[in-house]
Amino acid sequence: MVLVSRLRGGRLVHSSRRRHLPLPAALRTRHRASTRTHPGDPAPLPTISTPTPPSQTADPGLGEPGLTIDPGLHAPAPACRALQFCLRSVQPRSDGLRSVLLHWAPAEWSPCATSDAVSDERAARVPATVRGVGARSPVRQVLVGRADDADPGWTRVLDQERIDHRLGDPTSAPVVVLTGVLPGWVADYVSAGGVAVVSGAVASDSFLPSGFSASVTGYTTPGRTRRSHAPSIVTMFETEGSGEMRLHEDRVVKYGVDPDCFPAVFTVRHGEGVVVASGIPLTALLAAPGDCLRTFCDYSPVTERVASVDKAAVAETLLSMLGMAFEIAGLPMVTMGRFPEGASSVLILRVDVDGVYGDNTRRLASVAESAGMPASFFLNGDYSRIHPGPLSGWSASVELGQHAWLHTLLKTREQNRDNLERAERWMRDDLGVTPRSFVAPRGLWNRGLGEALRDLGYRYSSDFGLDFDSLPFRADGNVLQVPVHPYSPERAMAWARETGAPDPGPRDVRDHYLSAMCEQVRRGRPVHLYGHPEILGEMAHEVLPSLRALADELELPRSTLGEYADFWIRREQSTPSVGVDESTARLNIDVAACDVPVQVRSAAAHDLTLNGVPLGRVTSGSFVPT
C-alpha cells in the first residue's frame, strides 16, 4: 500500500493506494519462462572518478534493508522486478500506528538511502555563492540554472517534471544544465562546488576524460538491457559510468573479448563540484522530428512508422542525470505528479475512425461504455465516406475529435490547415460537433501541421511519428502532444500478411495491450492505447474487459484523451518554489493548490512545510495541496 498525503483544511490527511503490479494471468506462463534480467531494473549510479571513503551500511528504515552505500557521492539503487518503491519515512501517529511513506520513481534512478550527516557534509562542500543566496543565508533555492533557452530538449524535460528552472545568471543555481561545448565560466562554477549536467558533451573540454566521435544506432539507457533506438553522432568517453554505447553493435563476442564499450552517462569531479555528462546529444534527439518503419517495443515484432528515436527513453536518461545532480548537490528533487490524485498512471482508449465499417464503430463504443472505459473517437472524413456506417447517437462518455479529411499529412501549413478545416465543416454540418482535438492520419507530423493546429486553436494532438509512449509535451506550434502506444490490431494484421506470420486474434491483441499497460505503469507513463473499428470493433468484447480488469487491479483512473490533456494543461500552471534551510534541515515548498500531487525525492530527511503547513520529517513522498 502507498500512503498519499493530502492537505485538507490545514490538516494532513492520509489515504492508501495499492501500487503493486500483478502480472496478467494471460502473461504469467510467458513471464516465468523468461530468466533474463528485466530491462527496467535500475543500475547503480555511475562512480565519481575520484577515490571515495569506505562504505557503510544504510539504516534499514531507509531504502532496502542492509543496502550498502557509499557516503561519498554515489550509491547503488535497490533493484526491483516491477514498480519501484522506496521506503522513505516511518512516522509515529497519535493512534499508535506508523504512517509509512512510499514513493514510486522511474527505474532509471532512485534517491539512495543516505544519512543526514552525509547530506550535511555534501552541503558544506558547496559554497554560498553556488547556493543561489547571499553568503550569510543558510537557505538554498532548489532550482536549475540555464544560460539560455535555446535548447528545446532541456526545456521539454524540465517543463514535463515542473522543475523550477530560470534564465539569467546560471552560476547562482546549485545545478545547471548545458549542451555541447562548455562555456568558460563552467570550470570555475564546478570547481567552487556546483553541479553541471551536460548533454552532448565533447572531449575538447579539459576537465572531461579523453574521447572520440563515433556513429551509433542507439544506446542502452542506465538501468536497462534493451538498446534504445537513437541514431546519432556521439562522443565516446574513455571512462567508467552507467548505460552503454558500443562502437561495434550487434557483434558476436569471441574468445571472451568484448571491446570498445563506453558509458552512456558518467560523472567527473572537478575541484569541489561534479559534472554529470553524456556524450550522446540527448536533448537534440529529444527535440528532432523524423520517423521510420521499425519495431517499437521489446514484447512484439510488429512494426509501425514511428519516431526514429525512442524519445521516452531519452527523456528518462536526462531525468536520471538530473536526479544524480540533485543528489550530489545534497538537495531534494521536487516535481509535480504525472497523474491525478497520486495515481501510478491513467488508462486512455483512443479509436481512430479510418472508416466506420458498418456497425463496428457503434459496437466498439458500446463495449467500451459497458466496460467502464471512457473512449475518444477521432473521425476521418474521406475514409468514413468510403467505409460508411452510423455516426450518430454517441453517449456522454465519448469524446469526439477529428482525424483530418484526407487520411494523410500534407506538406505546408496552408495545405494542412485546409485539410483540418474541411474535416471541421463535415463534422459540424453532419454531426453537429465542432472538434477542438486531433490525432494525425498515419501518425505523421511536420512543422506545417503543428502551425496549422495552433492557428485553428486546437487543444492537443497525438502523433506517434513525432513521439510515442512518452509523457505529454509541447511541440513546435505550442500545441500539446499526448503520445500514444503505436500498436493497433489493424497494423498487426497488415504486418502479419507482409511477413507471413499468423493473423493476430483477440488473445494476441489482448496480451499485447496488457503488456503495454504493465510496461507503461512500471515506467510511470500514461497507458494510452489505440485501435480502429475495422478489426478492434469486431473483437472489442474479447479484449476491453481484460483491460478494465487490470486497470482495476492497478487502481488506474480511466479517462478520455481530452480529460487527461486538460489535467496536464492545469498541471502546467503550477511549478513548485522550493527552498532548503540547511541550518534547520527544513524543506519549504510553495505551489498553487490543485489536484496535482507534489513529489519529493531526497536522500536525506527534512522537516517539510507545504504551502505554510508543517508536515513533519520526511525524505520522499507524494503530497496533494488542496
- Give the tens place of pLDDT for each residue, 85-121: 333 333 333 333 333 233 333 334 333 333 333 334 3
The count of domains in the chain is: 3
Same domain, 531 and 421: yes
Task: Tell whether 538 and 616 lie within a shared domain.
Answer: no
| Whole-number pLDDT of residue 122 | 42
Q: Cell numbers 472508416 correspond to what residue?
A: 355
pTM for this prediction = 0.82
My answer on whether 193 and 324 are in the same domain is: yes
Max avg pLDDT among 50-64, 130-144, 559-573: 559-573
pLDDT at 22 over 90: no
Same domain, 30 and 156: no
CATH number for the domain harbouring residue 361: 3.20.20.370
- Report the pLDDT averaged over residues 575-580: 94
- Do 486 and 385 belong together in one domain? yes
Q: Is 370 domain-assigned?
A: yes
Longest dimension (CA), the chain: 74
Tell whether 174 and 283 lie within a shared domain. yes
Averaged pLDDT for residues 460-489: 96
- Using the 3D structure, point to which of 556, 582, 613 is the last residue of a domain: 556
Residue 68 lies in a domain: yes
Q: Is residue 494 part of a domain?
A: yes
219 with 279, same domain: the answer is yes
Q: Which residues form the domain of 294?
A: 130-334
Q: Which DSSP string do the residues of 140-194 spell out, in sequence order?
A: EE--EE-S-S--HHHHHHHHHHT--EE-S-GGGSSEEEEESSPPTHHHHHHHTT-
CA distance 604 to 195: 18
Is residue 346 very low, low, confident or very high in pLDDT (cuts 50, 70, 90)?
A: very high
Of the three residues 274, 304, 334, the one that is the final residue of a domain is: 334
Q: What are the Cα distances from residue 71, in Å, to 58, 75, 119, 121, 159?
A: 10, 8, 9, 9, 31
Residue 130 banded pLDDT, cuts 50, 70, 90? very low
pLDDT of residue 13: 47
Quick one: 134 and 104 in the same domain?
no
Same domain, 97 and 138: no
Q: Is residue 539 in a domain?
A: yes
499 Cβ contact partners less than 8 Å away, ≥ 6 residues apart: none
What are the Cα distances from residue 4, in Å, to 180, 406, 593, 600? 40, 47, 16, 12
- Is 567 part of any domain? no
d(CA 626, CA 618): 19
User: Both 323 and 348 in a single domain?
Assistant: no
* 565, part of any domain: no
pLDDT of residue 43: 38
Name the percent of the chain in helix, strand, coil, to the closest 5.
30, 25, 45
Three cell numbers, residue 417: 490547415
pLDDT band, very low/low/confident/very high, at 16 (cuts 50, 70, 90): very low
Joined grid coordinates for residue 503:
493473423
Residue 125 lies in a domain: no
**Is residue 339 situated within a structural domain?**
no
- Same domain, yes or no, for 438 and 503? yes
Instruction: Convert the pLDDT of each residue in 371-407 to its tens digit.
Output: 999 999 999 999 999 999 999 889 888 999 999 999 9
Instruction: Flag whether pLDDT at 66 surpasses 90.
Output: no
| Claim to verify: residue 178 and residue 239 sit in the same structural domain | yes
Average the pLDDT over each of 48-52, 201-205, 288-292, 506-510 and give the range with the smallest value: 48-52
End position of a domain, from candidates 530, 556, 582: 556
